[in-house]
Chains A and B, each alone.
Chain A
Amino acid sequence: MSTNSQDRVEMFRTMVRIREFEERVKRTFAEHPGVIRGHTHLADGAEASIVGSIAAIRPGDQVMATYRCHGYPIALGTDTTAMLAEIYGRSNGLCGGYGGSMHLADPERGFLGTSGIVGQSIPQATGAAYAAQIRRAGDVVLCFFGDGASKQGAFHESLNIASLWKLPIVFVMENNSYSVSVRVEQEDANAAAGEPLATKAKAYSMPGVTIDGGDPDVVYETVAEAVSRARAGEGPTLVESLVYRLSAHGNSIAPPGVPLHYPEHEAVTVFGDVAEYEAAKRGDPVPRFRGALVTGGVLDAARADAIVAEAADEMQRAVDGALAGPEPEPADALRFVHA
């Protein structure tokens, strides 16, 4: 399986749009202090993994993810103004200001939602795959989570059942080497032994593969094959997609009164490992894929610049539209408690 030139340009466009969106979220902390509350987690660095994965599914398929959730809906076609308005807590937000950054959902596009608790969306995605199996329409579920979540019982219980029942699901573990500020070698037995985390798949008799999550072509090919297996009733796959988040785990965790901002990556702030972080920046998947497309003659530099400029314009409109959105009515807090 491979993508054609037009698909690859669209993958690049979506990667750029996610990056521009996340840059605007980050800039909001400086340019509009107080507009974003609580905790916000960015996907910069994981664009190739997100876009390559979602390029491998079709309408009717579904996606569940974690609180680091801005990239998936963009790849699924969700309106970025509605997303940013949600992150700004406005009533024109994707979820009316009820959920915020950590709890985006867009069920019409197959994005069933997220959990703010590590690992807990994995059984939920497995349940969605169970529903897909008995719906018999050939739909597949993509379940995104981080390396840290694979230390949860929920992960192990879900992989066992998914394999046992041959559920149509692909588990995409975005391994960014850090559980917040703890390095993967400090908290994962496979990593400590020098083995890939995809080794865990063996325990549940499903294929496990470790790939370069910075290359959207590789991600697409791998996930597409896993999706085909799932659609054919052959069961789940664990894809360990190696990524590097280019921002800190989240913005600074501070009680009210303390200004919020994005600190530096934990490699620098906790471990003093500037070299690791600089190397990751040099491997940034967005310029890397642009280089591959330009070198390969798929995209010329002027067209690539135009894609970046269009994304910047779109995200400026998103910021403007989100800032212009009204705050919710206070008493609306009591809506939606029950369906």
Chain B
Amino acid sequence: MAREITYIAAIMEGIHQEMSRDEDVLLIGQSVGGSPEDPFVAAFGPDRVRVTPISETAEIGMAAGAALAGKRPVVDCTMAEFLLVAMDQVVNEANRFHYMSGGRVTAPLVLKAGYGFTAGWAGQHTGSIYGMFMGVPGLKVALPSTPADAKGLMATAIRDDNPVLFLHHYLLTLETGDVPEGEHLVPFGQAAIVRPGTDVTLVATGWTVHRALEAAEELAADGVSVEVIDPRTIAPLDVDTVLASVERTGRLVLVDQATRHASVSAIIAAEVAEAGFASLRAPIVQVTALDAPIAYSKPMEDFVLPDVAKIVAGVRRAVDVTLPHDAATAVR
């Protein structure tokens, strides 16, 4: 049975159910287990749920150590930027232990963090910084766009024997959707075709999936059939589903809230250019954030971000290559 719950509730439900299922799963972080009425402490006790000081290096490093010692820690890191304080622990430690030990040890841990809070949070709390993690060997990266995927990807992340970065989009926090009750697993490395179409393939992640769907709806009214694909995890990345779609449509538009050269879209564009060149009937179009930090003031914040109008313009250009290259959607 499914019922409609929020994206954030779905994430927490995924953690809760895995903690019920496996007593090795732990939950620590700066904003969990601190209050007397914390539901996770009530359910699982203070051994397994602990509030931490503001000490990211210690939180993530300790999670790696506890994972080596047989536990499955989930660290609520709050915001993606806070991972940067502990970058060595995120990209140079737990993710390499299995490899460096020749497979003798594993470090199963989940780092949960929100990203993309483009709602006036200004320069240091708004970044879509997933791109810098997708090429890190040994690290998996999930980017759920719906409540159901959020729950299912979290459960899969906790069961995975590798470090997983679970990045949830802040602007989706209170969005609701149908979420299965009970066990619900979404496999890693399997993209979802969220809207089938025949003329153009449109790939988007997180919050931009919903903007892409709005754009597809608008374009459908003009007779352009858009297929929208959500990779759901960017490491591993399901290139095959994108290639198969491009084989049918011949056109590819990539939407990304990250800055252009740190984006998932640049990687997908390269993969399709190499493996799907023969299918392409038009140049690949990327609709990304412009190469700037996020400003506090709304007019400037809006200017750098992809939106429905920019996505529609990008698709129109893929359909009709004689249209001008819009500076707002393709600044290098």
Interface, chain A (partner B; CB < 8 A): 36-39, 86, 89-91, 93, 97-103, 115-120, 148-149, 151-154, 179-183, 186-188, 255-258, 270-272, 327-334, 337
Residue on B nearest A183 in the bound complex, by CB: B34
Distance in angstroms between the alpha carbons of A149 and B54 in the assembled complex: 7
User: Are A270 and B34 in contact (CB-based, < 8 A)?
Assistant: yes
Distance in angstroms between the alpha carbons of A312 and B151 in the assembled complex: 50
Distance in angstroms between the alpha carbons of A148 and B225 in the assembled complex: 53
Residues of A within 8 A of B292 (CB): 333-334, 337
Distance in angstroms between the alpha carbons of A101 and B299 in the assembled complex: 17
Residue on B nearest A181 in the bound complex, by CB: B34
Residue on A nearest B81 in the bound complex, by CB: A117
User: Are A116 and B124 in contact (CB-based, < 8 A)?
Assistant: yes
Distance in angstroms between the alpha carbons of A102 and B296 in the assembled complex: 9
Q: Contacting chain A: which of B15-23, B169-177, B271-279, B315-323?
A: B169-177
Chain B's nearest CB lies how many Å from the CB of A207?
Answer: 24
Residues of B within 8 A of A255 (CB): 117, 119, 170-174
Is B241's CB within 8 Å of the partner chain A? Answer: no
Is B82's CB within 8 Å of the partner chain A? Answer: yes
Distance in angstroms between the alpha carbons of A86 and B122 in the assembled complex: 12
Distance in angstroms between the alpha carbons of A153 and B36 in the assembled complex: 28
Known: A186-B51, A255-B174. A181 touches B31 (CB 8 A): yes
Known: A332-B300, A333-B300. A117 touches B293 (CB 8 A): no
The 8 Å CB contact of B51, one of A90, A187, A337, is: A187
Interface residues of B in 38-59 (CB under 8 A from A): 51-58
Distance in angstroms between the alpha carbons of A101 and B124 in the assembled complex: 12
Please provide the 10 A-B residue pairs with the shortest distance between their CB atoms, ordered closest to farther: A37-B120, A100-B296, A38-B120, A97-B297, A151-B53, A333-B300, A89-B297, A330-B303, A116-B124, A187-B53
Is B3's CB within 8 Å of the partner chain A? Answer: no
User: Are B300 and A330 in contact (CB-based, < 8 A)?
Assistant: yes
Distance in angstroms between the alpha carbons of A184 and B92 in the assembled complex: 31
Known: A103-B124, A117-B85, A256-B119. A153 touches B55 (CB 8 A): yes
User: Are B121 and A330 in contact (CB-based, < 8 A)?
Assistant: no
Residues of A within 8 A of B117 (CB): 38, 255
Residues of B within 8 A of A93 (CB): 297
Interface residues of B in 304-327 (CB under 8 A from A): 304
Interface residues of B in 154-170 (CB under 8 A from A): 170
User: Are A182 and B30 in contact (CB-based, < 8 A)?
Assistant: yes
User: Are A98 and B174 in contact (CB-based, < 8 A)?
Assistant: no
Distance in angstroms between the alpha carbons of A180 and B124 in the assembled complex: 18
Known: A38-B120, A116-B124, A337-B293. A328 touches B300 (CB 8 A): yes
Is B181's CB within 8 Å of the partner chain A? Answer: no
User: Are B57 and A153 in contact (CB-based, < 8 A)?
Assistant: yes
User: Are A119 and B54 in contact (CB-based, < 8 A)?
Assistant: yes
Residues of A within 8 A of B290 (CB): 333-334
Q: Can you give 21 contacting A-B residue pairs, CB < 8 Å?
A: A36-B120, A37-B121, A37-B296, A38-B120, A38-B121, A89-B120, A89-B296, A91-B297, A97-B295, A100-B120, A100-B122, A102-B125, A116-B124, A116-B125, A148-B53, A187-B52, A255-B171, A271-B36, A328-B300, A329-B299, A333-B295
Chain B's nearest CB lies how many Å from the CB of A110?
Answer: 22
Residues of A within 8 A of B121 (CB): 37-39
- B-side interface size class: 35 or more
User: Are A118 and B54 in contact (CB-based, < 8 A)?
Assistant: yes
Residues of B within 8 A of A117 (CB): 81-82, 84-85, 124
Residues of A within 8 A of B331 (CB): 334
Interface, chain B (partner A; CB < 8 A): 30-31, 34-36, 51-58, 81-82, 84-85, 117, 119-125, 170-174, 290-293, 295-304, 331
Residues of B within 8 A of A103 (CB): 122-124, 296
Distance in angstroms between the alpha carbons of A257 and B122 in the assembled complex: 18
Distance in angstroms between the alpha carbons of A314 and B119 in the assembled complex: 29
User: Are B297 and A100 in contact (CB-based, < 8 A)?
Assistant: yes
Known: A39-B121, A331-B303. A179 touches B297 (CB 8 A): no
The 8 Å CB contact of A116, one of B123, B173, B297, B298, is: B123
The 8 Å CB contact of A98, one of B51, B82, B123, is: B123
User: Are B295 and A328 in contact (CB-based, < 8 A)?
Assistant: yes
Known: A118-B54, A187-B51. A102 touches B124 (CB 8 A): yes
Residues of A within 8 A of B171 (CB): 255-256
Distance in angstroms between the alpha carbons of A38 and B173 in the assembled complex: 15
User: Are B35 and A271 in contact (CB-based, < 8 A)?
Assistant: yes
User: Are B123 and A97 in contact (CB-based, < 8 A)?
Assistant: no
The 8 Å CB contact of A152, one of B36, B85, B119, B172, is: B85
Distance in angstroms between the alpha carbons of A97 and B120 in the assembled complex: 10
Residues of A within 8 A of B30 (CB): 179-180, 182
Chain B's nearest CB lies how many Å from the CB of A273?
Answer: 10
Residues of B within 8 A of A272 (CB): 36
User: Are A97 and B300 in contact (CB-based, < 8 A)?
Assistant: yes
Chain B's nearest CB lies how many Å from the CB of A17?
Answer: 23
Q: Which of B55, B291, B302 has the most CB of A within 10 A?
A: B55
User: Are B51 and A182 in contact (CB-based, < 8 A)?
Assistant: yes
Distance in angstroms between the alpha carbons of A217 and B240 in the assembled complex: 69
Residues of A within 8 A of B85 (CB): 117, 119-120, 152, 154
Distance in angstroms between the alpha carbons of A120 and B122 in the assembled complex: 17
User: Are B124 and A38 in contact (CB-based, < 8 A)?
Assistant: no
Residues of B within 8 A of A152 (CB): 54-56, 85
Chain B's nearest CB lies how many Å from the CB of A19?
Answer: 24
Chain A's nearest CB lies how many Å from the CB of B9?
Answer: 14
User: Are A98 and B124 in contact (CB-based, < 8 A)?
Assistant: no
Distance in angstroms between the alpha carbons of A180 and B172 in the assembled complex: 23
Q: Which of B55, B57, B296 has the most CB of A within 10 A?
A: B296
Residues of B within 8 A of A98 (CB): 122-123, 295-297, 300
